[in-house]
Chains A and B, each alone.
Chain A
Amino acid sequence: DIVMTQSPDSLAVSLGERATIYCKSSQTVLYSSNNKNYLAWYQQKPGQPPKLLFYWASIRESGVPDRFSGSGSGTDFTLTISSLQPEDVAVYYCQQYYITPYSFGQGTKLEIK
Chain B
Amino acid sequence: EAQLLQSGGGKVQPGGSHRLSCAASGFTFNTYAMNWVRQAPGKGLEWVSGIGGSGYSADYADSVKGRFTISRDNSKNTVYLQMNNLRAEDTAMYYCARGIWFETWGQGTPLTVSS
Contacts and interface: CB of A to CB of B under 8 A. Distances in A.
Interface of A: 1, 40, 42, 44, 49-52, 55-56, 61, 93, 95, 97, 100-107
A12 B84 CA distance: 42
By size class, the interface of chain B is 20 to 34
Contacts of A100: 47, 50, 59
Given A100-B47, A106-B44, 11 more contacts: A40-B102, A42-B45, A50-B45, A51-B105, A61-B103, A97-B101, A101-B59, A104-B45, A104-B46, A105-B44, A107-B44
A49 B101 contact: no
Nearest to B93: A49
6 contacts: A42-B102, A49-B108, A51-B105, A52-B103, A56-B101, A95-B47
Contacts of B37: 50
Interface string B33-44: 001010000001
Chain A contact surface mostly: loop
A3 to B, nearest CB: 13
A95 B59 CA distance: 17
B40 to A, nearest CB: 12
Contacts of A51: 105
B100 interface: yes
A50 B50 contact: no
Interface in B51-86: 59-62
- By CB atoms of chain A within 10 A, which of B46, B62, B102 has the most? B102
A105 B59 CA distance: 20
